[in-house]
């Protein structure tokens, strides 16, 4: 559909941000391949939109989302993909502090299902995605195994809880990386 819209000149009027991907043909091929991979895997609408727009700048994602009145879950996932797709693709090489920073930025703690969609969108169509997926799955499991409630109970004052939870998550991630 995007190729037909592009050939007839409509894409630049409907979604100029996506049309601009053809300025670098490799980017257009990557975006279309990611969209196809998401569709073939049965990914939801949010993951498909994020896969399509992950190569755009976050401001361009916001622009196209506003103009097309994209649902908020789609817009949020696309924004995260535009910001973090490269880090997710490089997950096998990330150190524990960088992984913790990524998990905090995408709110893994409260939105683990959205993180799964983000990984799907960020790695769709990527030939080396298996190593990143495996690394992220191990790191995610380790980080989520930290019992924040127990840490909160053992804290002497509420102000130290976030630091202790972060330290425990960092230690869990570091242990996972060493075992890879």
| pLDDT tens digits, one per residue of 42-99 | 999 999 999 999 999 999 999 999 999 999 999 999 999 999 999 999 998 999 999 9
> Which segment of 30-34, 84-88, 121-125, 154-158 scores lowest on mean pLDDT?
154-158
How many CB atoms within 10 Å of residue 78? 29
Residues 50, 114: Cα–Cα separation, whole Å = 11
Residues 30, 79: Cα–Cα separation, whole Å = 18
Q: pLDDT confidence of 180, banded at 50, 70, 90?
A: very low
Give the three-class secondary structure for 67: helix
pTM comes to 0.87
Give the three-class secondary structure for 111: coil
Work out the percent of the chain whose per-residue pLDDT is above 90. Answer: 74
């Amino acid at each position: 559909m995007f190729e037909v819209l592009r050939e007839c000149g409509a894409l630049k009027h409907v979604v100029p941000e996506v049309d601009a991907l053809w300025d670098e043909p490799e980017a257009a091929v990557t975006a279309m391949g990611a969209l196809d991979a998401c569709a073939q895997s049965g990914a939801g609408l949010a993951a498909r939109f994020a896969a399509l727009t992950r190569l755009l700048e976050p401001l361009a994602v916001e622009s196209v989302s506003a103009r097309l009145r994209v649902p908020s879950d789609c817009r949020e996932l696309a924004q995260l993909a535009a910001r973090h797709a490269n880090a997710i693709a490089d997950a096998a090489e990330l150190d524990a502090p960088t992984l913790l920073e990524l998990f905090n930025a995408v709110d893994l703690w409260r939105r683990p299902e959205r993180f799964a969609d983000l990984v799907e969108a960020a790695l769709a169509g990527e030939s080396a995605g298996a190593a990143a997926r495996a690394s992220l799955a191990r790191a995610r499991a380790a980080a989520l195994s930290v019992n924040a409630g127990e840490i909160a109970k053992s804290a002497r004052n509420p102000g130290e809880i976030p630091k202790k939870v972060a330290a425990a998550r960092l230690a869990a991630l570091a242990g996972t990386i060493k075992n890879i």
